[in-house]
Amino acid sequence: MVGFNLIELVSLEKNEKELDKAIKEYLEIEKHYLKSQNYYDTKERLISECNYIERSKLKSCIRYGMVISPGDICFIDFGKQYLSETGFLHFGLVLKMFNSKALVIPMTSNSEAYYSAYDEKNNPNGSSHLMRLGLVKGLNRHSVLFLNDVKYINTARIIDIKAHINTDSVLFKKIYQRFLQTVQFEEIVL
């Protein structure tokens, strides 16, 4: 639960003393939270916070010498997440560019996700929101797409481009079709 002083701060006019008090309270809450996490989770969160401070005011990743295109597989800082969302540092496949943003599908190389993912031939009863990519040139492990976590991101979240899938390839077209199936809405009868 958010501390009392932070809630009070929302309703107050500009007051430096109250702001300082709220900042101290927040930092204490954050410190206790970070200390309660495992080393890996704390490290990822701290890296992500530093990335946010450095990159959050940028319109894109061009400042870092990157020009992003559909089919690029990038290392991305998705930031803080709630349960069952993709967060912090993950790979992601760029589906489309629009208005300086990238529509991305987050990925993982987690072997449990790979084995539970739907595969037409090898795992027809697998989870349909997961799609096996296999081993893509430029990556070290077999990967899985989280089709239900597709989102537009500011490209300033992109840390590096690691690989590319040609958008004319059978694989990219299959990914795009699976994406469309995932977001397809049932007709609503009013």
Per-residue pLDDT at 176: 95
Give residue-wise pLDDT tens across range 79-89.
988 888 788 89
Reduce the DSSP state of residue 16 to 3 states and report it: helix
Residue 177 vs residues 95, 107, 125: alpha-carbon distances, Å: 11, 17, 19
3-state per-residue secondary structure call for 22-59: HHHHHHHHHHHHHHHCCHHHHHHHHHHHHHHHHHCCCC
pLDDT of residue 14: 66
The domains of the chain, with CATH numbers, are 60-183 (2.30.30.110)
Mean pLDDT confidence for 23-49: 92
Mean pLDDT in residue range 92-117: 94
Distances (CA, A) of 52 to 1, 65, 109: 23, 18, 24
The pLDDT value recorded for residue 9 is 54
Query: Is residue 178 over pLDDT 50?
Result: yes
Question: Quick one: which of 132, 124, 36, 42 has its CA closest to 80?
Answer: 42
**Beta strands 89-98 and 72-77, pairing class:** antiparallel
Please tell me the least confidently modeled range out of 43-52, 81-90, 130-139.
81-90
Q: Which two three-digit tokens encode residue 13?
A: 């006019």
Kindly report, residue by residue over 55-67, the tens digit of the pLDDT: 999 999 999 999 9
pLDDT digits (tens, 9 = 90+) for 102-111: 999 999 999 9
